[in-house]
Chain A
């Protein structure tokens, strides 16, 4: 009744359909199924770490011995910047002390200080369609899925998967990333999502809020992942549409994701035993 060719074509179509359905299901989750991704981290990442360490040591040697002239110039510039920073730090310390006194007077609770784990980036995703990196700290070091990842410039991303010694970080610029944020000056709230190509979009900012290009965007702390006040980026473009209640805002992250080498993972505070618990 059916020719061999027809059966072959039908089998291929069914296989493709099943394949697409499976990919659609896995595509809805950022975490890989049943630890398969963790297996890959365990096997591949040690090699990545050794190669990265080797390349880094070669780079360091080059920078230390062959770029002394530019280093001297940079040293002068940095000394100047350090002087300015020290002045700023002094002002900040004063403000911090005043803040502590005022919080104490108002009866506010002390902000919980969460421990930070320093980690080195050992591998990056080669695909232009996903923005992830692999770092050399894992569950053995206290890293857990959902821990925020930062550098001094601002938010870098979030841990999406962790093996014993390595972890995968979803970067802020990946479309799967989202941070509940607000504009530092006007306190206009919205959600910063990765735009893919090195920028972010700031969604759900109401039209009534006055914001301008250059304003700093910080985390609001309301997403339960990122602590409040971490720098995200600055507003680079605003489009106020005639219709709709939101404005279209682009944010340029403070973090340069192309040269990301070391990061800090903000781990969960150690859970305290509640009275009455066994």
Chain B
């Protein structure tokens, strides 16, 4: 059930940012999957998170025109980084969690920008990099933590639904 929830969220974010946001959203919005990866890093085990990260990364790379594999790379390294960071960071803290989300958005934006400026066959001018990444990080800092709350709320709802489903199926287990 939790795999289904993650895949639905992943697909929803991809479709939302490729259809609705590109028409009327801010010019340099960050990748909405970055806060989702941070959420997976903080709350989900690798066996639950990695399949979703791989599928999400491949889907984003497939529909994007950038260097193939850059989103997959960014998501996997971001996940590894978050798992490493939570070993010594108390991420339940009201300040640290938004900071972690902002850092995640910054990392993802920098990796994609680096691929476009350095690795792409026709590289972008370097002068764009600072303005684009700074705007993305700013948007990430403002809206990322709210997205994170949305993912956490969603997860709690899924857990509740799962528990009530099993309780109805096997009443003896709950008693």
State yes or no: do A and B come from one complex.
Answer: yes
How many Å lie between the Cα of A168 and that of B59 in the bound state? 13
**Closest A residue to B27 using CB positions:** A128
- Asked whether, in the complex, the Cβ of B63 is within 8 Å of the Cβ of A44, the reply is yes
Among A19, A168, A170, the most chain B Cβ lie within 10 Å of the Cβ of A19
**Closest A residue to B113 using CB positions:** A129
Given A37-B68, A51-B15, verify A196-B63 contact (CB < 8 Å).
no
- Asked whether, in the complex, the Cβ of B62 is within 8 Å of the Cβ of A37, the reply is yes
- Asked whether, in the complex, the Cβ of A26 is within 8 Å of the Cβ of B68, the reply is yes
Name which of B35-43, B121-129, B162-170 contacts chain A: B121-129
- Which of under 10, 10 to 19, 20 to 34, or 35 or more describes the interface residues of A? 35 or more
Given A44-B11, A48-B18, A196-B125, verify A125-B119 contact (CB < 8 Å).
no
- Asked whether, in the complex, the Cβ of B65 is within 8 Å of the Cβ of A22, the reply is no
The number of residues on chain B lying at the interface, defined by a beta carbon within 8 Å of a beta carbon of chain A, is 44
A residues whose Cβ falls under 8 Å from a Cβ of B: 19-20, 22-24, 26-30, 32-33, 36-41, 43-45, 47-48, 51-52, 55, 122-132, 134, 160, 168, 170, 174-176, 193-194, 196-197
A–B Cβ pairs within 8 angstroms, 30 of them: A23-B69, A23-B70, A24-B119, A26-B67, A26-B68, A30-B65, A36-B61, A40-B58, A40-B59, A44-B14, A44-B18, A44-B59, A44-B62, A55-B20, A123-B19, A125-B22, A126-B22, A127-B64, A127-B65, A127-B112, A127-B116, A129-B115, A129-B132, A130-B65, A132-B64, A132-B65, A134-B63, A175-B122, A175-B124, A194-B122
